[in-house]
A and B are shown apart, each in its own frame.
Chain A
Amino acid sequence: MSINVKNIHKQFGEFTALDDISLDFPSGELVALLGPSGCGKTTLLRIIAGLEQADQGDIILDGENASNTHVRDRQVGFVFQHYALFKHMTIFDNVAFGLRMKPKAQRPSESKIREKVFSLLQLVQLDWLADRFPAQLSGGQRQRIALARALAVEPRVLLLDEPFGALDAKVRKELRRWLRKLHDELHITSIFVTHDQEEALEVADRVVLMDHGKVEQVGTPEAVYNHPQTPFVYSFLGSVNVFHGRAEQEHLQVGNEQLRHHNDSYGHSKDVFAFARPHEIKIVDNNHHEGVSARISRVLSFGIETKVELDGLNGTHYEVHLSQQQRQAQSLYIGQEVKLVPSALALFPRELETSAQAQRLSEQQG
């Protein structure tokens, strides 16, 4: 079932949680709402579910305006970050809850309920825990039960609020893969909220990036990672190096130093942010005519890549990833003065940015 969000606005006192959000979630897709905490992603999810009311705008479920439909009639499955399992009920009763709450005319017989609950417990591979209580389960198991419980009422949409947020790294990774597999089997339109970019990129069909109550970019994981459209997306997805400078015809002036860029649209002197991913930067000798000076502070050479951390002149911090071949061709030591030459630079004019965003960018960098 498709979900359309139209011009949603939500205010909490002085704070604007959602500012004129419009989004379309096509049928059968698994979409991630990604952003830092406080960006409004959970509020949006709760408004779609009907747990929260928007100040303005409409939620269209399957072509029908559901803005004034109560949550219990919206047929949405909602999974909470902290599971929200009913502690006083067994796992079986938890999963059966939605079926047993149906009005008498629609309620299946107890044997039908039993059948359904066990098929769901098998789906989440936990049928052997039916008689236990939630307190006896691990975090990962609880979240799978919460999912089974939400699926029991055959929701038209599945909404997951930071479903793996309370789990440790290993279980989180396992469940992530499992959720993706489950979605491929069920094809139920799903939206999940996360602040973990890796999680969003790995699991979702499409990613919606949000910041400060606004949508920054929507696209496939490849698209948003490879072609970020705003400085926020650039800095939020993966690690990135930022150069503050002035763009001229051919080069970027960073302090007293110059970097070449290949962007023709910056004819005049313009203040810009320039972004380069860690693998898009070369380390060269400091007598090189081009590049930004830095001093190596750490060299981490385990894994496939070598990570080099550097300190810039005015307290900025850089990170460069080198392949093992590059690493071996070069002698690098801590304290060495070098210059950094980016092979690609993405430029964003600085005047477009609000001061708050600019400040956050420089904070991330420092």
Chain B
Amino acid sequence: MNTLRQFSVLPGFGLSLGYTLVYLSLIVLVPISAVFIFTSQLSLSEYWQVVTSPRVMASYQLSFGTSFLAAGINAVFGVLLAWCLVRYSFPGKRIVDALIDLPFALPTAVAGIALTALYAQNGWLGQIIEGYFGIKVAFTPIGILIALVFIGLPFVVRTVQPVLEEIDTELEEAASSLGASRWQACRYVVLPVLLPAIMTGFALAFARAVGEYGSVIFIAGNIPMVSEITPLMIISKLEQYDYTGATAIASVMLIVSFILLLLINLLQSWTAKQTGRNA
């Protein structure tokens, strides 16, 4: 324990660590462990039956698949948006900047209803898309994807933006004076610096999308085996007073989400090491 008792110019280590641990336990760890305690009322075979029933399996695939895809789409277009906001000045820039946070602020149910109205068969966009391309958006996985892209966008923009602001344009000037094309300068000079921030934004958008309920539930249509997301499965179990079943599915979501986020974190520290940031 010697290391903890050493003199430090930043006193209060014990107090702040204790506070952090208590706070984290109360707010995060206790509720989450409650999920597992509830779940443990089931026997292992019962548990397995609940979490691998075909409808639930289909919902995992849908939830994690669309979330991953939505986070990916947000990573690409969020970077573009951040780029525009940082690098160029144009009239109404402040308004655009404020608009980006709107998905944060809007009640998700409102977003869901608005999106459904837009993309439904008789909605403005739904009519056009179905009329010209023959693609149904609302009440299909595509609709879910759109809702998840909508709510995840601010995460990527807001994590990439400050990092992009830090990048000196001198670096790109240096690259082009060395003969690099615009594309090469972006690919080899800007992107590697942005990558950790993009990955953080991706992880946040993904985590948010996996847990999203309100905005998805209207546009999804909730057709069994087609457009039922996992949170909906949990809610429907709750509505049948099957609390242990609900927590069983929740525990699977928790474990998978945790593993995925851990993987993204590891990938991030690996790239950081590759690029000398930790050196």
- Name A residues whose Cβ lies closer than 8 Å to a Cβ of B: 49-51, 70-73, 76-78, 80, 82, 84, 86-90, 97-98, 101-102, 132-136, 149-150, 152-153
Do residues A90 and B276 form an inter-chain contact, with CB atoms below 8 A? yes
Q: Is B181 interfacial (CB-CB < 8 Å)?
A: yes
A51 to B177, CA, bound (A): 8
Residue of A49, A50, A87, A153 touching B276 (CB-CB under 8 A): A87
Give the number of residues in B that approach A within 8 Å (Cβ atoms).
Answer: 21
Q: Is B40 interfacial (CB-CB < 8 Å)?
A: no
Q: How far is the CB of A42 from chain B (nearest CB, A)?
A: 12
Residue of B171, B177, B180, B279 touching A76 (CB-CB under 8 A): B177
Do residues A101 and B276 form an inter-chain contact, with CB atoms below 8 A? no
Interface string of B171-206 (1 = CB under 8 A from A): 101111111110010001100110000000000000
Q: How far is the CB of A149 from chain B (nearest CB, A)?
A: 7
Q: How far is the CB of B275 from chain A (nearest CB, A)?
A: 4
Residue of B170, B171, B181 touching A72 (CB-CB under 8 A): B181
Q: Which residue in chain A gives the minimum CB-CB distance to B174?
A: A84
Q: What residues of B have a CB within 8 angstroms of the CB of A150 in the complex?
A: 177-178
Residue of A87, A89, A153 touching B178 (CB-CB under 8 A): A153
Q: Is B5 interfacial (CB-CB < 8 Å)?
A: no
A72-B193 contact given A97-B188, A133-B276, A133-B279, CB 8 Å threshold: no
Do residues B171 and A101 form an inter-chain contact, with CB atoms below 8 A? no
Q: Is B168 interfacial (CB-CB < 8 Å)?
A: yes
Residue of A77, A84, A102 touching B168 (CB-CB under 8 A): A84
Q: Which residue in chain B gives the minimum CB-CB distance to A88?
A: B275
Q: How far is the CB of B174 from chain A (nearest CB, A)?
A: 4
Q: Is B277 interfacial (CB-CB < 8 Å)?
A: yes
Interface string of B258-279 (1 = CB under 8 A from A): 0000000000000000011101
Q: Which residue in chain A gives the minimum CB-CB distance to B180?
A: A101
A82 to B181, CA, bound (A): 22
Q: How far is the CB of B180 from chain A (nearest CB, A)?
A: 4
Could you pull out 18 A-B pairs where Cβ atoms are within 8 angstroms? A50-B177, A72-B177, A72-B178, A72-B179, A76-B177, A78-B174, A78-B177, A80-B174, A82-B170, A86-B171, A87-B193, A87-B275, A87-B276, A88-B192, A88-B275, A97-B175, A98-B180, A136-B279
Q: What residues of B have a CB within 8 angstroms of the CB of A49 in the complex?
A: 177
A332 to B177, CA, bound (A): 58
Do residues B170 and A101 form an inter-chain contact, with CB atoms below 8 A? no
A73 to B182, CA, bound (A): 12
A150 to B173, CA, bound (A): 12
Q: What residues of B have a CB within 8 angstroms of the CB of A90 in the complex?
A: 276
Do residues B173 and A97 form an inter-chain contact, with CB atoms below 8 A? no
Q: What residues of A have a CB within 8 angstroms of the CB of B170 in the complex?
A: 80, 82, 84
A101 to B277, CA, bound (A): 23
A101-B179 contact given A84-B173, A86-B171, A87-B193, CB 8 Å threshold: yes
A135-B180 contact given A51-B173, A71-B173, A78-B173, CB 8 Å threshold: no
Q: What residues of A have a CB within 8 angstroms of the CB of B275 in the complex?
A: 87-89
A152 to B174, CA, bound (A): 13
Q: What residues of B have a CB within 8 angstroms of the CB of A89 in the complex?
A: 275-276
A88-B175 contact given A72-B180, A101-B181, A101-B184, CB 8 Å threshold: no
Give B146-188 interface residues, CB cut-off 8 Å to A. Answer: 168, 170-171, 173-181, 184, 188
Do residues A72 and B176 form an inter-chain contact, with CB atoms below 8 A? yes
Q: How far is the CB of A103 from chain B (nearest CB, A)?
A: 9
Q: What residues of B have a CB within 8 angstroms of the CB of A134 in the complex?
A: 276
Q: How far is the CB of A49 from chain B (nearest CB, A)?
A: 6
A136 to B188, CA, bound (A): 21
Q: What residues of A have a CB within 8 angstroms of the CB of B179 in the complex?
A: 72-73, 98, 101-102, 153
A152 to B168, CA, bound (A): 22
Most chain A CB within a 10 A radius of its CB, from B171, B180, B188, B276: B276
Q: What residues of B have a CB within 8 angstroms of the CB of A87 in the complex?
A: 193, 275-277
Q: What residues of A have a CB within 8 angstroms of the CB of B180 in the complex?
A: 72, 97-98, 101
Do residues B174 and A135 form an inter-chain contact, with CB atoms below 8 A? no
A84 to B181, CA, bound (A): 17
A101-B177 contact given A86-B189, A87-B276, A135-B276, CB 8 Å threshold: no
Do residues B176 and A71 form an inter-chain contact, with CB atoms below 8 A? yes
A98 to B276, CA, bound (A): 20
Do residues A135 and B178 form an inter-chain contact, with CB atoms below 8 A? no
Q: Which residue in chain B gives the minimum CB-CB distance to A77?
A: B177
Do residues B174 and A101 form an inter-chain contact, with CB atoms below 8 A? no
Do residues A101 and B279 form an inter-chain contact, with CB atoms below 8 A? no
Q: What residues of A have a CB within 8 angstroms of the CB of B175 in the complex?
A: 86, 97, 101
Q: How far is the CB of B193 from chain A (nearest CB, A)?
A: 6
Do residues B277 and A88 form an inter-chain contact, with CB atoms below 8 A? yes
A98-B173 contact given A88-B277, A135-B276, CB 8 Å threshold: no
Q: How far is the CB of A239 from chain B (nearest CB, A)?
A: 34
Q: What residues of B have a CB within 8 angstroms of the CB of A80 in the complex?
A: 170, 173-174
A80 to B275, CA, bound (A): 22
